[in-house]
Chains A and B, each alone.
Chain A
Amino acid sequence: MITVSNIKKSFGRLQVLDDISFKVDKGGIIAILGPNGSGKTTFLKILLGMVIADGGKILYQEKDISKSHEYRKHIGYLPQIARFPDNLKVREVIHMIADVRNEPSNPEDLIKLFGLESFLDKNLGNLSGGTRQKVNIVLTFMFDTPVIVLDEPTAGLDPVSLIKLKDLINKAKAAGKIILITSHIMSLVEELADEVIFLLEGNIYFKGTPQELKSRTGSEDLEHAIAAILES
């Protein structure tokens, strides 16, 4: 479904992605890990067409993504920072994204799930960070997209909402979707991920299951496995 070949990107003199290639053919949860500034978000943004790569290409369903914006119909994206126009109401922004995408959406169940009913008529500028993140989650999951990209989805969420989010992710996985996720919360990654791609200095340092990563470094959990890689 997604083929990434030789993606390169630098910002000025800083080489963020050196040579990234991998392939995803079947559904499942893929965690993209790496230290701060290792290019996780940059990679996701290249996949979404928000950052333009210096070299290499990404194919989605055998088609080069730089040629057309249509492929984004198939991708749901949860950005790292949730900010919206301050004077729009929650109801309006949900309606707007549905309107812009022009596809069937089902926000009602998600609104109920995250208890956002009472916020629907509030201005987005007056919401707390966590509530905005919930709105963001509704916007991402209200469409039935075969690929979901989640960039630090847990930021600002309370434990109850976190459990609900995990359920959503697992349901999406059960439906055979491809879920790309970045997170610094290793327990979450360990719990969810089928596969781990570890980025270090612009290259893929490791690609495999979380178990393989642990046994390779001889660590009990993912957190220590990552620490072992970074310290060696």
Chain B
Amino acid sequence: MIKIFKYSFSDLMRSRWSFIYLGFYMLLGFVLLFLNNDLSKGIITLMNVIVVLTPMIGTIFGVMYFYNSREFTELLLAQPVKRSVIFLGQYLGISISLAMSLIIGLGIPFLVYGVFRSGEIFNFLLLLIAGGFLTFIFVAISVCIALFNANKIKGFGYAILMWLFFAVIYDGLVLLSMMVFADYPLDDFALLVSFLNPIDLSRIMILLKLDISALLGYTGALFQRFFGTNLGFVMSWLMLVIWTCVPVLLMVRIANKKNF
């Protein structure tokens, strides 16, 4: 697996798109920091960008890489290697190279600005870890979608729709249902739905750590009561791990049964 990972990683790391992605984060980081002149405000703005952008890039890259390397995957399948090893290796190649772009791209401007000398370092790390998780999750889901659909256009369409669902439509539905059922107690419901969407979950985790939950009013207090505890903290990280593992396992399962 390490071998397959090594080659697909070095292939991706040299692709133009990885550099564009890295360059984008670097530019974003510098602009935000030097315009805002405030680390914590910079982190909040970045959070809003990261929780939407990393899943999108993960989705697009995952689908694109899978379809583009189809013939090469076939060549690997004819080698004496287990199928699961090939797919896990390629999956790690995509996810880790994207996560690296994120970490290096944002790391440099923050280092230059002096994140280590401030108390914001943990919030910044949390942001990077959440972005990393979202990358791993959405690459896995999009590879699953690509494995299901032999048709490129369809696969691409479904993948984008999946991202749109988690990033936009889901929140809309939640909001709508909250308005419709406004007369009922919705505390537990609100907590539950935020757990079922990795994007929402990461957003809440970061917001609460930034101590601006007061802005969220009653809901913020409710969330703080849950996520602020050790149990809530462990549960939310565990949920992100589950969100990563389930699509990865599904990916290996589909790959083992698929005809190439």
B80 within 8 A of A: yes
Determine if A88 and B81 form an interchain contact, defined as CB atoms under 8 angstroms apart.
no
Q: How large, as a class, is the contact surface on chain B?
A: 20 to 34
Contact of B71 among A77, A79, A92, A139 (CB under 8 A): A79
Determine if A97 and B3 form an interchain contact, defined as CB atoms under 8 angstroms apart.
no
Determine if B79 and A100 form an interchain contact, defined as CB atoms under 8 angstroms apart.
yes
Q: Which B residues are in CB contact (< 8 Å) with A87?
A: 11-12, 14-15
Determine if A101 and B8 form an interchain contact, defined as CB atoms under 8 angstroms apart.
no
Residues of B contacting A: mostly: helix
Contact of A84 among B10, B75, B78, B259 (CB under 8 A): B75
Report the stretch among A46-54, A153-161, A183-191, A202-210 that lies at the interface: A46-54
Binary flags per residue of B89-125, CB closer than 8 Å to A gives 1, else 0: 0000000000000000000000000000000000000
Q: A11-B259, A87-B15, A88-B11 are in contact. Are A48 and B81 (CB under 8 A)?
A: no
Contact of A72 among B70, B74, B80 (CB under 8 A): B80
Q: How large, as a class, is the contact surface on chain A?
A: 20 to 34
B76 within 8 A of A: yes
Determine if A69 and B81 form an interchain contact, defined as CB atoms under 8 angstroms apart.
yes
Determine if B7 and A72 form an interchain contact, defined as CB atoms under 8 angstroms apart.
no
Q: Which B residues are in CB contact (< 8 Å) with A70?
A: 80
Determine if B77 and A49 form an interchain contact, defined as CB atoms under 8 angstroms apart.
yes
Determine if B74 and A100 form an interchain contact, defined as CB atoms under 8 angstroms apart.
no
Determine if A69 and B80 form an interchain contact, defined as CB atoms under 8 angstroms apart.
yes
Determine if A101 and B79 form an interchain contact, defined as CB atoms under 8 angstroms apart.
yes
Question: What residue of chain A has the Cβ atom nearest to residue B78's Cβ?
Answer: A77
Q: A50-B259, A51-B259, A51-B260 are in contact. Are A79 and B11 (CB under 8 A)?
A: no
Can you list 19 contacts pairing A with B, beta carbon distance less than 8 Å? A50-B78, A51-B259, A51-B260, A52-B257, A69-B82, A71-B80, A79-B74, A82-B71, A83-B71, A83-B72, A84-B72, A85-B8, A88-B11, A96-B3, A96-B7, A97-B75, A100-B76, A100-B79, A101-B80
Which residues of A are interface residues toward B (Cβ below 8 A)?
Answer: 11, 45, 48-52, 69-73, 75, 77, 79, 81-88, 92, 96-97, 99-101, 139
Which residues of B are interface residues toward A (Cβ below 8 A)?
Answer: 3-4, 7-8, 10-12, 14-15, 68-72, 74-83, 257, 259-260
